[in-house]
Amino acid sequence: MNRRRAYEDDGDFYGERSRKRRRVSENQEMEERLETLILRVGENSSSSLESNLEGLVSVLESDLGNFRSKILRILSECPIKMPEKCTIYSTMVGLMNAKNYNFGGEFVDHMVKTFKESLKQCRWDAARYALRFLSDLVNCHVISTNSLLQLLDNMVDAANEDSVPQVRRDWYVFAVLSTLPWVGRELYEKKESALENLLVRIEVFLNKRTKKHHNSLRVWSVDAPHPQEEYLDCLWAQIRKLRQDNWAEKHIPRPYLAFDSVLCEALQHNLPLIHPPPHQDSFEYPMPWVVYRMFDYTDCPAGPILPGAHSIERFLIEEHLHSIIEAHHWERKDCAANLLNLSYKDKIPLEYCIVEVIFAELFKMPTPRYLDICYGSILIELCKLQPSKMPQVLAQATEILFMRIDSMNTSCFDRFANWFSYHLSNFQFRWSWDDWDSCLLLEPEHPRPKFIEEVLLKCLRLSYHDRFKEMMPETYSKLIPKPPMPTYKYTMEGAASLPGTATAHKLVVAIRQKCTPEDVLNELKDLPNPRETSENDMVESTFNPLKIDVFVQTLLNLGSKSFSHTFAAISKFHLVFKTLAETEEAQICILHNVFELWVNHQQMMVVIIDKLLKTQIVECSAVATWVFSKEMVGEFTKMYLWEILHLTIKKMNQHVTKLSKELSDAKERLDRNAESSSSESEEETAPAGTDAVTPQRRRKKPIGDNADKPTEEQVERMEEKLEAAYVDQKRLFLIIFQRFIMILSEHLVKCDTDGRDYDTDWYRWTVGRLQQVFMMHHEQVKKYSSTLESLLFTSDIDPHILDVFHQFTALRS
Amino acid sequence: LSKYRDQHFKGSRHEQERLLRLTSTLYIGNLSFYTTEEQIHELFSRCGDIRRIVMGLDKFKKTPCGFCFVEYYARDDAESAMRYINGTRLDDRIVRVDWDAGFVEGRQ
């Protein structure tokens, strides 16, 4: 019953049905009824699937005269939109074909067209599901075995093309391999040698493949207890195992087997010759991935046995669960219900499979499909629906993740900490912390105590400090965050000797009396510049660190009551900030004073810096330089600092994306107007819309458009602006990568000369953060790959660092 | 769209519906009186960049009284919050998230 909702945004497929109903003709109503029947076949019903299929087929048969094209369309869309129901629809088409050979032929043509279109439009999953459906039609005697083999062979040919990206070749092999669970048995029975030949060609291809990308996509760097396999290698192993078992698999329901006597009489069609569309530079292919594994059968001792990592069932179950998440990620309750209702649920330890698949998505590299919180909220929903099992499985999973955290990559570490704190906040922060207290003996930079520390900091943000007293065992006192209060030095003991104290106190009074920004600048005027008294009289800039110090700390301390107070203070004295923050050095100084005041309140630092960026008081490059500055060395491995860096990069990226969209819109309008002036009449004769648009209003519209029309000059200016933004963006990435290279090289050289092991906790965190910048912003960074290669990641830097870059470029090669 | 409507909305029902379809502002209800802007920010920023949070204040005492408005820059982010946060917990209370036609000064 929830199926309908999931596809709501598919336009005419389902949309707005109820509103339309009253106005539609009888014919349309009939069409809609047919559609519903087809969509819902295979859902729970009182009669058997077989009899439902038979009934539906005879209904469709009698309606073919009137609704031929509609039926063709729905039947070809369903197996693509609901790939898990592939065999139900292939059975239907098989039965239709047995009754009406011509319809079968038309359907095959239609499906082939859909398949080719998907390939051309780079809709890779749709293409794969279409191919799977075509293969399954072989099982239903609709399509001849030979012609399918020919198609599969052509696809492997595409995988053997030269001078095309490996990701393209990979996809063609993946598509072929992933149809074999459906049609392998049939091919094996009818054309064994041709199938063997196909497999040999695939094996040759796989042996030649490069797997440079593999390491950057792994969740864990070590292969114990479970290897993190590259997806094609894993699927190949699963297919090989399937072949050993004579292509018998136990997961796919095959309703057509019940109709064998009807179907085997049917005449088959030949697929036309299909050539994959040649590669174009604009084509984007799926990136490779690594198969996520955290459980094996020993983890789930009670109940049914978990299929092994190389059994094809594991692949099929996972694919099925992923596609449920895809279809329902927008409705967490439906999503949880559908996951728990998997058709195969009694034969597998379902809760383990679900938890593994959800963590697979959450930890997916380079980025998860959906927001982190989407997975978090689905897990909460699952716990609510299955309170007797799900929370235990989830706790066991958390335990496993924590035990394997030593080799977890940094991006996943962050996602894990964010998820876990969020999850705890939904369950009264209850956790058996005592189980983990042995970690308190480890070095503080070790991933385990680090994880606990970061989780507690996140928990603090979602709750309040007093809560920790009830929440945590006493042994954890050293990891409990400090109360998130400002540390305002001008009222602390010994403040009298500080050079700015007197001014700071005057400033407090002035701001309390609602003074203007000019008044503030006046108050600050007399502060001496510590830089001028020393040796560098030569400095021409007006940058005065003491002014910034007194102003920033005093103002933010006065606004410390809440985010709102702070934001109000920043916007009221925006002018003062702008005056003081003229140079990048001054901007870094502002950031540093934010840090000094709010050292115990990370979240406050994050939002203040976000505000300073939005109000253009500091620039992105200043934040990047500050993150790597000497003053921040002690904070360098803490999560919040990277939260700040990534929000800064995102801001830059959004800016570039916005400008480039504005430009392309403007260009489009310019082109459209050039055309429409010659063909104005077209708009006039357009079919009358449902709204009653008066003729005058319609005639007016093109004129209105012309008023919006940008001039060539405006477009040129937009181009310049975008160009400048690209320069800024490139510069930001260059700064960040250059700093990484500097500190990492320094560390490696120093360890080398001292004869120490370079592989320290600090080193791992830092390399992890470098990887994270590549991964999180891969869409944007890829534009600068060649610049980075020629300027920074050159052959003379340390191979450890260079390797991170090469792994990144291998993602799309 | 949900059942919640601002009772003091000035304008026609139709106008209100239209605004609700475009808005990126959410009304958040059933908060504890002690829940702070900081906590709300932490939870809701998991769905996207927040433009501002306006805490609901008691008319006389000027203290928080269990609701607030969260305004996002993007409609999509507000939609995510509707989907993923509505009905989950903050400060041990199940928060209620609804569309709001946009905050006007004085409504808190």
Q: What is the ipTM of this complex?
A: 0.90
Average pLDDT over residues A678-697: 43
Which of A563, A567, A600, A646 to mutate against chain B (most B CBs within 10 Å)?
A563
- Look at A376 and B43 and tell me if their CB atoms are within 8 Å: no
Q: Judge: B39–A418 Cβ closer than 8 Å, yes or no.
A: no
Q: In chain B, what residues touch A603 (CB-CB under 8 Å)?
A: 38, 41-42
Q: Pick the more confident residue, A683 or A41.
A: A41
**Amino acid code (one letter) for A336:** A
Cβ-Cβ contacts under 8 Å for A659 (sequence gap 6 or more): A718, A721, A722, A725
CA-derived radius of gyration, chain B:
13
CA distance B12 to chain A (A): 21
Partners of A143 in the beta sheet? A269
Examine the fold and report which residue of A476, A505, A532 is the final residue of a domain before the chain moves on.
A476
A512 alpha-carbon distance from chain centroid: 47
pLDDT for the residue numbered A31: 85
Distance from CA of B100 to the nearest CA of A (A): 20
Question: Regarding predicted confidence, which is higher, A52 or A539?
Answer: A52
DSSP bridge partners of B72: B50
Residues A258 and A363 in one domain: no
Label residue A708 by pLDDT band (50, 70, 90): low
Q: In this structure, are strands B96-100 and B25-29 parallel, antiparallel, or unpaired?
A: antiparallel
**Which of A463, A644, A646 best probes binding to B when mutated, by most B CB atoms within 10 angstroms?**
A463
If asked whether residues A181 and A58 sit together in one domain, one would say: yes
Same domain? A172 vs A48: yes
- The pLDDT score that the predictor gives to residue A28 is 82
Asked whether residue A508 is assigned to any structural domain, the reply reads no
Average pLDDT of A400-412?
97
CA A289 to chain centroid: 13
Residues of A (396-435) whose Cβ lies below 8 Å from B: 418, 422, 425-426, 428
Q: Does residue A603 belong to the interface with chain B, where contact is any CB pair within 8 Å?
A: yes
A153 and A42 co-located in one domain: yes
**Tens digit of pLDDT for each residue in B47-65?**
999 999 999 988 788 888 8
Rounded to an integer, what is the distance from CA A693 to the centroid of its chain?
A: 43
Name which of B52, B85, B91 is nearest A463 (Cβ-Cβ).
B91
- For the residues A281-309, what does the mean pLDDT come to? 94
Domain count, chain A: 3
User: Residues of A124-162 as b/e, b for ≥16 C-beta within 10 angstroms?
Assistant: bebbbbbbbbbbbbbbbbbbbbebbbbbbeebbebbeee
For A568, name the nearest residue in chain B, comparing CA atoms only. Answer: B52
> Residue B91: left if φ>0, alpha if ψ -120 to 50, beta else—which one?
left
Interchain pair B36, A418: CB under 8 A: no
* Predicted pLDDT at A694: 41
Separation between Cα atoms, residue A291 and residue A402, nearest integer Å: 19
Indicate whether A256 and A377 sit together in one domain.
Answer: no
CA distances from B92 to A464, A738, B87 (A): 12, 45, 11
Q: What is the mean pLDDT of residues A376-391?
A: 97
Cβ contact A563–B53 (<8 Å)? yes
Q: Do B41 and A607 touch (CB under 8 A)?
A: yes
Distance from CA of A282 to the nearest CA of B (A): 27
* Chain B residues lying within 8 Å of A607, measured CB to CB: 41
Q: Rounded to a whole number, what is the distance in angstroms from the first to the last CA of chain B?
A: 22
Chain A residues with CB under 8 Å of B82 CB are none
Question: In this structure, is residue A535 part of a structural domain?
Answer: no
Is the Cβ of A461 closer than 8 Å to some Cβ of chain B? yes
Residue of B32, B33, B38 for testing the chain A interface, max A β-carbons within 10 Å: B38
Q: Is the pLDDT of residue A691 over 90?
A: no
Position A24 confidence tier, pLDDT thresholds 50, 70, 90: low
Contacting residues of B for A457, CB less than 8 Å apart: none
Query: Is B46 in Cβ contact with A372 (below 8 Å)?
Result: yes
Measured between its terminal Cα atoms, the distance across chain A in Å is 43
Question: Residue A637 belongs to a domain with what CATH number?
Answer: 1.25.40.180
Residue of B nearest to A377 (CA): B84
Structure confidence at residue A32 as a pLDDT band (50, 70, 90):
confident
**Does any domain span residue A683?**
no
Say if A333 falls within a structural domain: yes
What number of other Cβ atoms are within 10 A of residue A630's Cβ?
Answer: 6
| Cβ–Cβ gap B53/A564 under 8 Å | yes
User: What integer is the mean pLDDT of A597-609?
Assistant: 98
CA distance B107 to chain A (A): 16
- Strands across the sheet containing B64-72: B50-57, B64-72, B25-29, B96-100
Name the most confidently modeled range: A333-347, B31-45, B62-76.
B31-45
pLDDT above 90 covers what percent of chain A?
Answer: 82
Q: What is the pLDDT of residues A103-157, one digit of tens each?
A: 999 999 999 999 999 999 999 999 999 999 999 999 999 999 999 999 999 999 9
Of A476, A508, A528, the position where a domain reaches its end is A476
Q: Tell me which residue range forms the domain holding A397.
A: 311-476
Nearest to B37 among A374, A376, A562 (CB): A562
Sort out which chain B residues have CB atoms less than 8 A from A461's CB and list them.
38-39, 42
Per-position b or e across A288-318, b if 16+ CB within 10 A of its CB: bbbbbbbbeeebbeeeeebbebbbbbbbbbb
Best of B88, B105, B108 to disrupt the A interface by mutation (most A CBs within 10 Å)?
Answer: B88
Residue A568 covered by a domain: no
Q: Is A600 on the interface with B (CB under 8 A)?
A: no
> In 3D, which of A488, A579, A467, A468 has the Cα closest to residue A525?
A579
- Position A95 in a domain: yes
- Of A476, A507, A539, the one marking the end of a domain is A476
* One-letter identity of residue A465: H
Q: Say if A275 falls within a structural domain.
A: no
CA A251 to chain centre: 29
Residues A51, A112, single domain; the answer is yes
A683: pLDDT strictly greater than 50: no
Instruction: For A611, name the nearest residue in chain B, comparing CA atoms only.
Output: B51
Nearest CA-CA distance, residue A618 and chain B, Å: 18
Quick check: A702 pLDDT over 80? no
Position A738 pLDDT exceeds 60: yes
What distance in Å separates residue A426's CA from the closest CA in chain B?
A: 5
Q: Which residues in A lie closer than 8 A to residue B38 (C-beta atoms)? A: 461, 562-563, 603-604
Nearest CA in chain B to A560: B38
pLDDT at B57: 85
Does A373 contact B84 at a Cβ distance shorter than 8 Å? yes
Task: Please count the residue pairs, one from chain A and one from chain B, whose beta carbons lie less than 8 angstroms apart.
Answer: 63
Per-residue confidence band for A542, with pLDDT thresholds at 50, 70 and 90: low
In a domain, A137, yes or no: yes
Q: What is the pLDDT of residue A535?
A: 54
Whether A1 shows a pLDDT value over 70: the answer reads no
Selection from A461, A322, A431, A440 nearest residue A378 by Cα: A322
Residue A706 pLDDT greater than 60, yes or no: no
In this structure, are A258 and A349 located in the same domain?
no
Q: Which of residues 10-69 of B touch A (CB under 8 A)?
A: 34, 36-39, 41-43, 46-47, 52-55
Q: Do A330 and B83 touch (CB under 8 A)?
A: yes
Task: Quickly state the pLDDT bin for A695 (edges 50, 70, 90).
Answer: very low
Average pLDDT, integer, range A22-35: 77
Say if residue A193 is in the same domain as residue A336.
no
Contacts of B91 in chain A (CB under 8 A): 463
Determine the pLDDT at residue A480: 93
* Structure-token match 């698999």, residue found: A249
Q: What percent of chain A has pLDDT over 70?
A: 92
Q: Based on the domain organization, do A257 and A321 belong to the same domain?
A: no
Q: How confident is the model at residue B106 (pLDDT cuts 50, 70, 90)?
A: low
Residues A208 and A318 in one domain: no
Note whether A256 and A338 are same-domain residues: no
Q: Which residues in chain B have their CB less than 8 angstroms from residue A462's CB?
A: 39, 42-43, 90
Residues A642 and A785 in one domain: yes
Instruction: Give the pLDDT of residue A30.
Output: 83
Please, what is the average pLDDT of chain A? 91
Of the candidates A418, A425, A461, the beta carbon closest to that of B89 is on A425
